[in-house]
Amino acid sequence: MNASCCRASALCEEFSDYVIYDDSCDSVLVNVHEDYFSIVYRELQKMSYILVFKTYLKATNSLTCTFIKE
């Protein structure tokens, strides 16, 4: 795993038990509670990741998001 994807994955793992990373595309898929979304989003932006997909799960009050490296 490259350093960029490792840092992004480690950040997401602090806020979620469900993180999938793809080293070849520098992408991260994460399921995070809505209370922590803004923190994760802001910190990933600092690492040059952009949000490309987001969906809200009402049953768990969480968001499933995909971020890719610019």
User: pLDDT digits over 31-66, tens only?
Assistant: 999 999 999 999 999 999 999 999 999 999 999 999
- Tell which residue, 2, 29, 27, 8, has the closest CA to residue 18: 29
Instruction: Give me the mean pLDDT over the 23-38 stretch.
Output: 93
Contact criterion met (CB below 8 Å) for 9 and 28: yes
Say if residue 1's pLDDT is above 90.
no
26 pLDDT band, cuts 50/70/90, is confident
What is the structure's pLDDT at 4? 67
What is the structure's pLDDT at 7? 86
